[in-house]
Amino acid sequence: MTDVTLFERYVATMKQFQRFRILKSLVVFAGLLWLAGCAPSQPKVRFVWPPPPDVPRLEWVGVYYSEASFEKSDKQKLMAQIFGDAGEYTFKAPFGIASNGKGIVYISDIYDHNVRIYDFNRKKVEFLTKQPVMKTPLGLDVDNQGNLYIADGGLGKVLVFSKDRRLSFAFGGNKEILIKPAYLKVNERLDRIYVSDPLEHKIVVFDMQGHHLFSFGTRGNGPGEFFSPQGVAIDNKDRVFVADMLNARVQVFDAEGNYLYNFGERGDGVSQFENPKDLDFDSEGNLHVVDSRRSTLYTYRPDGTLLLATGTGKATKHLMGFAAPKSVFIDTNDRIYVAEALGKRFAVWQFMSKAYLQRNPYTEADKKRWFDYMEKMAGEQKKP
């Protein structure tokens, strides 16, 4: 394994069509913007990871900076040429991200003290509230009824908004129980909400009405101890997975907070962490973990077996890389959303589950378009 970018490796091995393995670098090339210029009648190149001839697991969907990032109709493109487009960057410091799986994506923006709503149905962007009621909105989650949960680290509370964007209630605010909520995860099967408190190095558990049930964890690096716990994910067995950031690992607990096992360690190897920040599960039980410092999305089996590493290993502006990702959320359609603080954007990928591939098979024609495109890019690279 080398440290060259995968694009360089593509060019070097294009004629050999070698089988690619899990790598720590990703396709990086400015020519990806060619996607936006495809004629409507021409099938688009489908960029997947890992690339052919390996079996793809993720498909790149796009990155979003502002309302201008939405795909436009010909009429909208013409209007933009006449009247101008909205500014490319609208985020100040995106942090948390969540989706209702029906075209609505929520992104907390720390310095705007609000949550931005990306409505893919109407192709509009707006704030959750007209007047900011938040101080430092961080992690987000959405329940099956469409209620939005916001961990506000500045207020020391969790805010709950109904699907019609009204503040339903808030809980926390007691420093003896919760000082700085950072991330949260709702478990409706058990009527519980798990909230991480990185200042107190613990996970605080509430019922769905906001009543404190119990907490677990103390500062340390032993089993069941935390050093700045961040993201929380829950599998279909109600096990609780926690991104133990400064211990550079993921810890696993049962629903009552009893320690089960952990995986991961600090290092610069492909399977090692620096600052694991957030995590979530896809429909087939794979755990996806974002490492903020390494700007990488890792895909694991629940037992800690690494399946895939997606990213360049460092912050990048490239469309298929990441820049200091803070949160990851996977909706009911297996769409993967990643909020990037340095990139001031969010990225969208698709986990290529069996169900997704039945609806959208990755065909031999798709592979051929990919190889043809890469050969074209290789030819461009050879030009003086």
**264 part of a folded domain:** yes
Q: Is the pLDDT of residue 57 over 70?
A: yes
- Kindly indicate the confidence band of residue 89, based on its pLDDT and cuts at 50, 70 and 90: low
Q: Is the pLDDT of residue 85 over 60?
A: no
- Kindly indicate the confidence band of residue 36, based on its pLDDT and cuts at 50, 70 and 90: very low
Residue type, 109: D
- The verdict on 27 and 107 lying in the same domain is no
- The verdict on 198 and 272 lying in the same domain is yes
Q: How far is CA 92 from CA 65, 111, 133, 268, in A?
A: 10, 6, 17, 30
Higher pLDDT, 34 or 359: 359
**58 part of a folded domain:** no
- The verdict on 252 and 182 lying in the same domain is yes
**51 part of a folded domain:** no
Strand, coil or helix: 342: coil
Range with lowest mean pLDDT among 10-24, 193-207, 343-357: 10-24
- The verdict on 319 and 368 lying in the same domain is no
Q: Which two tokens stand for residue 330?
A: 């996977």
- The verdict on 82 and 182 lying in the same domain is yes
- Kindly indicate the confidence band of residue 74, based on its pLDDT and cuts at 50, 70 and 90: low
Output the average pLDDT for the chain. 87
Q: How many domains does the chain have?
A: 2
- Angle, CA of 291, 67 and 312, to the nearest 5°: 25
Dihedral (CA of 20, 23, 28, 32) sign: positive
- pTM confidence score: 0.87
pLDDT of the residue at 73: 61
The domain in which residue 220 lies consists of: 63-359
Q: Is the pLDDT of residue 18 over 70?
A: no
**71 part of a folded domain:** yes
- The verdict on 372 and 262 lying in the same domain is no
- The verdict on 163 and 27 lying in the same domain is no
**54 part of a folded domain:** no
- In this prediction, residues 336-364 reach a mean pLDDT of 96
Is the bond leading into 50 cis (omega within 30 degrees of zero)? Answer: yes
Cα 217 to chain centroid, rounded: 25
277/13 Cα distance (integer angstroms): 34
φ/ψ of 216, rounded to 5, equals: -145, 150
- In this prediction, residues 78-93 reach a mean pLDDT of 60
| In 71-228, beta strands by DSSP E | 94-99, 104-109, 114-119, 124-127, 137-142, 148-152, 157-161, 167-172, 184-187, 192-197, 202-207, 212-216
CATH, residue 133: 2.120.10.30
**322 part of a folded domain:** yes
Higher pLDDT, 253 or 269: 253
Beta bridge partners of 311: 296
Residues 172-219 pLDDT 10s: 999 999 999 999 999 999 999 999 999 999 999 999 999 999 999 999
**50 part of a folded domain:** no
Q: Is the pLDDT of residue 86 over 90?
A: no
124/69 Cα distance (integer angstroms): 10
210 and 306 in contact (C-beta within 8 Å)? no
